[in-house]
């Protein structure tokens, strides 16, 4: 019996042991090394070899970063603290009164993250901004003008101004809940703290002239933004899952007959001979001759995009080849290849090239790389490279991006596609995030957030309960990085609601007309890291103080009388000049918060306000869009396909307001990577004193515009 | 520039490094050492010093465990696998077809856990059975007749039969989602896997003659179940938060006038001079003379229970004393003492003794020791003993239990109270879990689950939308470990709905009559570890195959056509003989699943069925309760307070059915720990051939019963 108790340690025996106090002794301030102007790196203790930027596999855009402005270290390093204990690394950053924190990836309900508690974990979106999302990028931007990337492929717990420390410099005062009405369940917190479950971590800290500059440097550090092929910015339509080549042709004919824009057709699981898990082989009954089918599509100006999830069916030719490189667990009984292994990458890439790229497939939609737990590999999974399930979960989207990007790059063909998981370092890859969630307002909040973290997001259109909802969704998808109907399950078409077909068509053609503006905006993403779609908070002169709305006490529903955060999360900037303020189903009017400076109605050119809140009710015909004073918007004529945007396209340059303005119009061949070698043209569009001018910046033969007409929209 | 790139490791450099494969080499089968009959311990690699049973601080019940039956090792150890890597320990247990898994603490919506993914994390209950709950006990019980305790004070990720392994012995067959209707989003899994974020872990494995025996051994290993004071099983009423001593007296008068049972009055935050954080000092305006007030209460047969949360207000006398032992973070600006430190325990215990126990306070309700993240200390918090926020989160409830229990034990007075967080090892402590959640059906599911994990749970009554709901809730709280109205916020009283007052009073008095049965049942918890309230699944002869209800495909709501689990989670056993099948608001009838054997209506003694599903509709007057064949239910006469249960209480022994039966009737002084020294009486109540007899088992002077009448309820 004595033996047993010897092994059964009681609390008091435990307490009498010598215990080392670790509270302060091991805490230290990081050491930073400036690697580019305004960019510092720090290595805390012993980080893991594998991390997010390693998985993303893109070097920084050195030339551009090196000519960025010098910046002082933007935060007191005395107040940045860290230590490592029990296999975990703690980090603390100071927060000041009024300081706001943005970023941490693709959130759907919140923009400002102060007050949030997140566990950054790649996953499907479950309806809460709790860190489980398709792209939980561990990068935050402070309104104090700096940003930090935590470069770790781990689930990171983040407490954004929630914890209150005993040693706080500004400790809140305790209140008496018995009688004090000022009592709050969430006292003021002056710090942002994190735990990374690793023996150390690599940090990158970015300064900037303002928050946008911080984001630009982050994007450039991660390789710079993506420039899609021109066709990628046209209209997309994903077809029902079991469509065959005849169904597809009929669908395309429908678009032509109805005169609706269409550049890309997406094939859903039925193109595989088996799906969930996938064979990556064409189904011979539905597509007897894939090469001919693809060529036929191409002849009609249609680019094909193929759905997949990367779990390999035992019934396909890939299975035996990839089995040696598979993880311990299956997904829907398909193996999960470890694409950090060169052998596995090579097998998959060769298959893609032979069976898809060589016959002309334009790209992929890579599904199910996010979650969720009930069918993805569990955290206990192990992979042959030595990585574990958690590291794999955080980076599988990145792995699929790099794997497919490389083969398109080898062909010198740009691709543009969809993916359901991303992370830090995704910015240079041609993939737009989507999901199964479908709240329209939350879709727009995701679009607002995407720009903080180097992400692109599409508010795709699937089904709708009414014509009005359909139209409102069509309007927002046309003002997004990827304009798409996803009819995989419902078989919807642009004309599914005939009562709003005209308006749907109008906004789709408007997107096509705006392509020069949009394409040039993406060029700015590539060259400068400027997010093409971004939050108002990144706009100079935009003030949106957060408002806390008191909620009534209720013993069961709200026993701590928690207040609700109210913030601006339903309007955003598309490029430098256009403010988009979508309307939603059953809402005939809305408030729009205009930053300082004069703003003009995009459609009429009329002055609408300056640094104020306006109410607009444009009816069903229009999505509210506003142009900044000095806005220069290059547009082409209405085209149905980007293949019609060829030599000598007449260029209309719309000008708004009276301020001087300039805009760099960008052009290239639209499809290859030759622009990286200088094969592109940029011209400076300028307006001064009511007169427009065009100035050559970078010259090449790649220039598709012809006659130019200046259109001064604001008459008075 | 070269320097920069040297530090910027690209994927391909990384891949070319020598990487060790850890897939199989480090995996091993645990080694087990039998410490009691049918109880084995294993130490995997290097566990942390601190763990759950250490925090619980109770040795196993050695004498009782040693006389348990010998059992073979109940599972193939070849199929139990483990390894440690990256500071985490992996565990795998086999699952067979049809095997079920129960336990993992207090779940509110599910009983059977196979198919669940849990992150065991002490927290408030957020509406999902995802491991975040008040008592996420890392102990599971298999229907194959064994159980395992993972003795780690860490957030443990558990995958209960969800992950499918490539090396599975029974791999499911891949289906083609394109065309195969059998396709399932969740293929068959043959394993239970976990990750414990530590370099090792201590395991305890329990065998048994059946699942109940496994649970008993687990409970005995953790110190055996609690025996509450008799008054703890009477009726409780918690009063509005700012009540003063006059309000309290008025409330008690009301109970007396209305002739409603009342043993315990709970004072809510207003007894503190300040609350949230708390001073633990009486508010002199509301309670000018606490000692006199308490004495006055005691004279009326009332026991006082005081609400608290353990966060120390800077405005009280405890603050300066406890500050040296506080963690890095505050909760509502109160410090968080580290009660694993003897100095901190001593300070708090001395305060409790002087200001509460010595004036006669009967116990505490310990709030806010569970969560949630937005106001508790964050995981980044550190504590002076060297423990971190995660370890503290998993054990703070345990710490508060042991701290308060010790001082009552020193006084030789039993206490019974409420707590909002528990974990493995709580079983011997006199605390019942409660929360703010209020779904009545889910409250019952929690009661069903509590018995698997050594927990007690109260479905307390707060407010109701109707008299019917009020009555249904009153009925279930009277058939629970703690019968209570919690009027802290709403000021409800038993007669708040006059239309059902009679029925409420009836069920409250019925509970009082059942006290001998209930008290003896708790004695069985203490002596044998038999949970007093438990799931039907622990009952021999109960068969409930899980039913999966297909749900329709919906592209947005249910894109993977997930099925819904349907199981029995709304009926339970109270003690050995009584099956309780509550009715809920707006439900006039319900199905009851009877285990094999004859069952009888508790109220009438009529036969109702055998191993079948019956439908009952007893009207508002009754909560459906059924007695097993051979049931022996000792009852006393109607009393309003346990103080009336004194010498020579007439004993009615109800007998149900025709089978032979026996029941050990237990008695003692009802308030002290003298029973542990043998100061208790047990008698065997026996029925054979329609005749009852009583046989002495353990004799002492503690015996409160007088005249005995046998009542054979089943006439034919």
Please tell me which of the candidates B373, B438, B555 has its beta carbon nearest to residue A556. Answer: B438
Q: Which residues in B lie closer than 8 A to residue A388 (C-beta atoms)?
A: 85-86, 88
Name the one residue in this structure whose structure tokens are 């911080």. Answer: A214
Whether B272 shows a pLDDT value over 80: the answer reads: yes
Instruction: Output the CA torsion sign for B93, B97, B99, B101.
Output: positive
Q: How far apart are CA B271 and CA B288, in angstroms?
A: 10
Structure tokens at B374: 């937005």
Distance between the two ends of chain A, CA-based, in angstroms? 97
pTM: 0.93
| DSSP secondary structure, B379-394, as one string | TT-B-TTS-BHHHHHH
Look at residue A667 in the predicted model and tell me its pLDDT. 98
User: Using CA of residue B242, residue B245, residue B247, residue B252, what is the dihedral sign?
Assistant: positive
Distance CA B356, CA A154 (A): 47
A332 → chain B, closest CA residue: B187
Q: What's the mean pLDDT when you consider all of chain A?
A: 94
Nearest residue, CB atoms, B5 vs list A23, A59, A375: A59
Phi–psi pair at A54, nearest 5 degrees: -65, -45
Query: Residue A159, Cβ neighbours under 10 Å: how many?
Result: 26
Reported confidence tier of residue B7, pLDDT bands at 50, 70, 90: very low
A490·B555 Cβ contact <8 A: yes
Region B169-186: mean pLDDT is 90
Contact B50/A at CB under 8 A: yes
Reading the block at residue B669, the tokens are: 């002084």
Peptide bond into B277 cis (omega under 30): yes
- Cβ atoms of A580 and A624 within 8 Å: the answer is yes
- The least confident of A168-177, A431-440, A586-595, B317-326 is A168-177
> Which tokens belong to A620?
């069903």
Q: What percent of chain B stands above pLDDT 70?
A: 94
CA distance B436 to chain A (A): 6
* pLDDT(B171) > 80: yes
What is d(CA B224, CA B675) in angstroms, rounded to the nearest whole number?
14
B157 touches chain A (CB under 8 A): yes
What does the alpha-carbon distance between residue A429 and residue A131 come to, in Å, rounded to a whole number? 22
Tell whether B563 lies on the interface with A, counting CB pairs under 8 A. no
Mean pLDDT score, A404-429: 98
A546 band by pLDDT with thresholds 50, 70 and 90: low
Report yes or no: B293 and B245 within 8 Å, Cβ to Cβ. Answer: yes
Whether chain A has a CB inside 8 Å of the CB on B272: the answer is: yes
Rg (CA), chain A: 26
B187 interface with A at CB cutoff 8 Å: yes
CA pair distance A172, A159, nearest whole angstrom: 17
B153 has pLDDT over 90: yes
Tell me the two tokens of residue A482.
């990827």
pLDDT per residue over B260-270, tens digit each?
999 999 999 99
Please give the structure tokens belonging to residue A706. Answer: 């012809």
pLDDT of residue B200: 96
DSSP alpha helix (H) spans, A529-643: none
Contact residues on chain B for A15, CB-CB shorter than 8 A: 340-342, 385
Q: CA–CA separation, B669 vs B657, rounded Å?
A: 32
Helix, strand, or coil (residue A518)? helix
Taking alpha carbons only, the member of A88, A390, A133 closest to residue B154 is A88
Q: Which of A144-148, A304-308, A557-561, B639-643 has the lowest mean pLDDT?
A: A557-561
User: Hunting for tokens 């605390």 — which residue is that?
Assistant: B431
**φ and ψ of A649, to 5 deg:** -65, 125
Does the CB of B37 have a partner CB in chain A at under 8 Å? no
Chain A nearest-CA distance from B626, in A, is 32
The answer, for A373 touching chain B at a CB cutoff of 8 Å, is: yes
CA distance A627 to A620: 20
Using DSSP's 3-state secondary structure scheme, residue A424 falls into: coil
Contact status, residue A378 vs residue B162, Cβ threshold 8 Å? yes
Instruction: For A504, list phi and psi in degrees, rounded to 5.
Output: -65, -45
Which range, of A602-616, A654-668, B554-568, averages the lowest pLDDT? B554-568
Give CA–CA dist B696/B685, Å, rounded.
9
pLDDT at B18: 47
Tell me whether B87 touches chain A (CB under 8 Å). yes
CB contact under 8 A, B333 and A49: no
Q: What average pLDDT does range A673-702 have in this prediction?
A: 97
pLDDT given for residue B546 in this prediction:
53
A617-635 average pLDDT score: 96
B239 interfaces chain A, CB cutoff of 8 Å: no
Q: Which of B5, B22, B274 is nearest residue A176 as measured by Cβ atoms?
A: B274
Of the partner residues B165, B197, B198, the one whose CB lies closest to the CB of residue A328: B165
Q: How far is B520 from chain A (nearest CA, A)?
A: 30
Report pLDDT for A16.
53
Torsion of CA A407, A411, A412, A413, to 10 degrees: -80
**Contact criterion met (CB below 8 Å) for B342 and A15:** yes
At B11, the pLDDT band (50, 70, 90 cuts) reads low
Give the dihedral sign, CA B455/B456/B461/B466.
positive
Predicted pLDDT at B410: 98
- Greatest Cα pair distance in chain B: 98
Instruction: Report the alpha-carbon distance of residue A366 to residue A344 in Å, rounded.
Output: 17
Q: Chain-centre distance of CA B419, in angstroms? A: 10
Looking at chain A, the whole-number percentage of residues with pLDDT higher than 90 is 89
Q: Report CB contact under 8 Å: B187, A328.
A: no
In angstroms, the separation between the Cα of residue A696 and the nearest Cα of chain B is 32
How close, in Å, is residue A78 to chain B by CA atoms? 18
How far is Cα B302 from Cα B515, in angstroms, rounded to an integer? 17
Q: Is A314 helix (H, G, I), strand (E, B) or coil?
A: coil
| Contact between chains at A283 and B195 (C-beta distance less than 8 A) | no
Question: Residue A613 — very low, low, confident or very high, per pLDDT cuts 50/70/90?
Answer: very high
Length of chain B: 716
Residue A558 pLDDT > 80? no
User: In sequence order, what are the beta bridge partners of A365?
Assistant: A307, A418
Q: Tell me how far apart the alpha carbons of residues A263 and A478 are, in angstroms, rounded to a whole number.
A: 13
- Rounded to 10 deg, the angle between the A342-355 and A389-410 helix axes is 40
A6 touches chain B (CB under 8 A): no
For residue A199, which residues of chain B lie inside 8 Å, CB to CB?
87
Nearest CB to A274; choose among B176, B323, B437: B176
Contact B174 A314 (CB under 8 A): yes
The pLDDT value given to residue A554: 72
Please tell me the distance from the alpha carbon of residue B665 to that of residue B524, in angstroms, as a whole number: 10
With bands split at pLDDT 50, 70 and 90, how would you rate the model's confidence at A549? low
- Contacts for B434 with CB less than 8 Å, ≥ 6 apart: B365, B418, B419, B420, B457, B458, B460, B482, B486
Cβ contact, residue pair A166, B326, below 8 Å = yes
Asked if A177 lies within 8 A of B275 by C-beta distance, the reply is yes
Better pLDDT: A309 or B12? A309
Alpha-carbon distance values, A578 to A478, A540, A616, B490 (Å): 13, 14, 16, 52
- For chain A, say whether B660 makes contact (Cβ under 8 Å): no
| Pairwise pLDDT comparison (A582 vs A11), residue with the higher score | A582
Q: Do B560 and A314 touch (CB under 8 A)?
A: no
pLDDT tens sequence across B530-563: 999 999 999 988 875 555 566 666 777 677 666 6
A334 vs B: CB within 8 A: yes
Please give the average per-residue pLDDT across A220-238, as a whole number: 98
Distance of CA A597 to the CA centre of its chain: 28
A275 CB near a chain B CB, below 8 Å?
Answer: yes
User: Under a CB-based contact definition with an 8 Å cutoff, are residues B231 and B264 in contact?
Assistant: yes
Hey, which residues 572-631 in chain B have their CB within 8 Å of chain A?
none
**Which residue, among B565, B571, B578, has the nearest Cα to B592 in the 3D structure?**
B571
pLDDT at position B240, please? Answer: 98
Residue B689 makes CB contacts below 8 A (sequence gap 6+) with B660
Calpha distance B600→B610 (Å, rounded): 9
Mean pLDDT score, B69-92? 96
CA torsion angle B635 B638 B644 B647 (round to 10) = -40
Task: Specify the pLDDT at position A573.
Answer: 98
Q: What is the pLDDT of residues B417-467, one digit of tens each?
A: 999 999 999 999 999 999 999 999 999 999 999 999 999 999 999 999 999
**CA torsion, ordered A345, A348, A349, A351, to nearest 10 deg:** 160
Among residues A475, A461, A448, A460, the alpha carbon closest in space to that of A603 is found at A475
CA distance B682 to chain A (A): 29
Quick check: B366 and B339 in contact, CB under 8 A?
no
Nearest-CA distance A404 → chain B (Å)? 15
Contact between B167 and A556 using a beta-carbon 8 Å cutoff: no
Of A55, A197, A331, the CB nearest to B11: A55
Alpha-helical runs (H) found in A479-571: 501-513, 515-528
Which band of pLDDT confidence, cut at 50, 70 and 90, is reported for residue A398?
very high
Distance of alpha carbon A10 from alpha carbon B26, whole angstroms: 31
> Does residue A83 carry a pLDDT above 60?
yes
Whole-number pLDDT of residue A262: 98
Q: Sorting pLDDT into bands at 50, 70 and 90, what band is A7?
A: very low
Give the contacts of B430 (CB within 8 A, at least 6 positions apart). Answer: B226, B228, B232, B363, B405, B408, B414, B415, B416, B417
The pLDDT tens digits of the residues spanning A463-510 come to 999 999 999 999 999 999 999 999 999 999 999 999 999 999 999 999
Chain B residues close to A5, C-beta within 8 Å: 59
Q: Take residue A303 and report the two structure tokens written for it.
A: 């680019």
Question: Which residues from chain B sit within 8 angstroms of residue A308, using beta carbons?
Answer: none
State whether A275 and B176 contact (CB < 8 Å). yes
Flag if A333 and B164 touch (Cβ within 8 Å).
yes
**Average pLDDT, integer, range B393-412:** 98
Under an 8 A CB cutoff, do A382 and B23 touch? yes
Considering only CA atoms, give the Rg of chain B: 26
CA–CA separation, B362 and B307 (whole Å): 12
B:497-556 residues touching chain A, CB 8 A cutoff = 553, 555-556
| A340:B11 CB<8 A | yes
């Amino acid at each position: 019996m004595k033996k047993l108790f010897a092994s059964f340690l009681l609390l008091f025996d435990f307490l009498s042991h010598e215990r080392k106090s670790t509270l302060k002794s091991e805490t230290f301030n990081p050491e930073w090394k400036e690697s580019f102007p305004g960019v510092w790196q720090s290595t805390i203790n012993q980080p893991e070899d594998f991390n997010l930027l390693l998985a993303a596999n893109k070097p920084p855009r050195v030339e551009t970063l090196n000519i960025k402005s010098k910046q002082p270290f933007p935060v007191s390093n005395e107040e940045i603290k860290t230590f490592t204990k029990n296999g975990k690394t703690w980090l603390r950053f100071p927060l000041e009164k009024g300081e706001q924190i943005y970023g941490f990836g693709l959130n759907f309900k919140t923009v400002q993250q102060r007050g949030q508690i997140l566990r950054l974990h790649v996953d499907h979106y479950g309806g809460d901004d709790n860190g489980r999302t398709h792209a939980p990028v561990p990068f935050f931007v402070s309104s104090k003008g700096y940003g930090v990337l935590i470069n770790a492929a781990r689930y990171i717990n983040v407490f954004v101004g929630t914890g209150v420390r005993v040693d706080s410099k500004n400790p809140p005062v305790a209140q008496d809940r018995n009688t004090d009405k000022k009592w709050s369940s969430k006292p003021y917190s002056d710090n942002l703290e994190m735990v990374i479950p690793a023996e150390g971590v690599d940090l990158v800290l970015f300064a900037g002239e303002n928050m946008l500059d911080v984001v630009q440097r982050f994007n450039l550090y991660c390789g710079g933004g993506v420039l899609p092929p021109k066709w990628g910015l046209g209209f997309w339509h994903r077809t029902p899952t079991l469509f065959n080549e005849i169904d597809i042709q009929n669908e395309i004919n429908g678009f032509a007959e109805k005169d609706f824009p269409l550049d890309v057709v997406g094939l859903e699981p039925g193109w595989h001979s088996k799906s969930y898990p996938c064979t990556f082989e064409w189904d011979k009954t539905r597509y007897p001759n894939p090469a001919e089918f693809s060529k036929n599509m191409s002849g009609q100006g249609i680019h094909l995009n193929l759905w997949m999830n990367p779990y390999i069916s035992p019934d396909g030719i890939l299975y035996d080849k990839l089995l040696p490189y598979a993880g311990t667990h299956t997904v829907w009984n398909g193996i999960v290849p470890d694409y950090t292994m060169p052998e596995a990458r090579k097998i998959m890439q060769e298959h893609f090239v032979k069976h898809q790229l060589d016959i002309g497939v334009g790209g992929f939609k890579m599904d199910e790389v996010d979650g969720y737990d009930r069918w993805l590999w569990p955290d206990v999974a192990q992979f042959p490279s030595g990585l574990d399930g958690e590291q794999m979960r955080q980076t599988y989207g990145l792995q699929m991006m790099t794997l497919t990007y490389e083969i398109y790059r080898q062909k010198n063909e740009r691709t543009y596609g969809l993916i359901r998981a991303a992370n830090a370092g995704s910015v240079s890859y041609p993939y737009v995030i989507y999901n199964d969630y479908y709240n329209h307002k939350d879709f727009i909040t995701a679009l607002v957030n995407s720009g903080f973290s180097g992400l692109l997001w599409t508010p795709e259109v699937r089904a709708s309960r009414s014509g009005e909802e359909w139209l409102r969704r069509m309007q927002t998808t046309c003002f997004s990085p990827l304009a798409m109907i996803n009819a995989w399950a419902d078989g919807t078409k642009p004309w599914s609601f005939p009562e709003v077909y005209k308006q749907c068509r109008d906004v789709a053609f408007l997107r096509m007309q705006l392509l020069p503006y949009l394409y040039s905006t993406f060029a700015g993403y590539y060259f400068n890291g400027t997010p093409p779609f971004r939050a108002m908070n990144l706009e100079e002169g935009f003030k949106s103080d957060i408002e806390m709305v008191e909620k009534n006490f209720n013993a069961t529903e709200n026993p701590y009388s928690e207040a609700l955060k109210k913030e601006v999360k339903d309007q955003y900037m598309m490029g430098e000049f256009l403010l988009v303020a979508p309307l939603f189903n059953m809402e005939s009017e809305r408030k729009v918060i205009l930053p300082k400076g004069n703003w003009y109605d995009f459609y009429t050119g009329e002055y609408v306000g300056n640094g104020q809140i306006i109410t607009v009710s444009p009816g069903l015909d229009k999505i509210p869009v506003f142009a900044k004073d000095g806005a220069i918007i290059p547009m082409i004529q209405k085209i149905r396909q980007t293949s019609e945007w060829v030599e000598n396209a007449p260029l209309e340059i719309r000008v708004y307001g009276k301020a001087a303005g300039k805009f760099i119009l960008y052009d290239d061949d639209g499809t290859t990577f030759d622009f990286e070698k200088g094969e592109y043209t940029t011209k400076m569009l300028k307006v001064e004193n009511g007169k427009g001018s065009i100035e050559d910046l970078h010259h090449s033969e790649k220039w598709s515009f012809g006659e130019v007409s200046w259109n001064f929209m604001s008459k008075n």
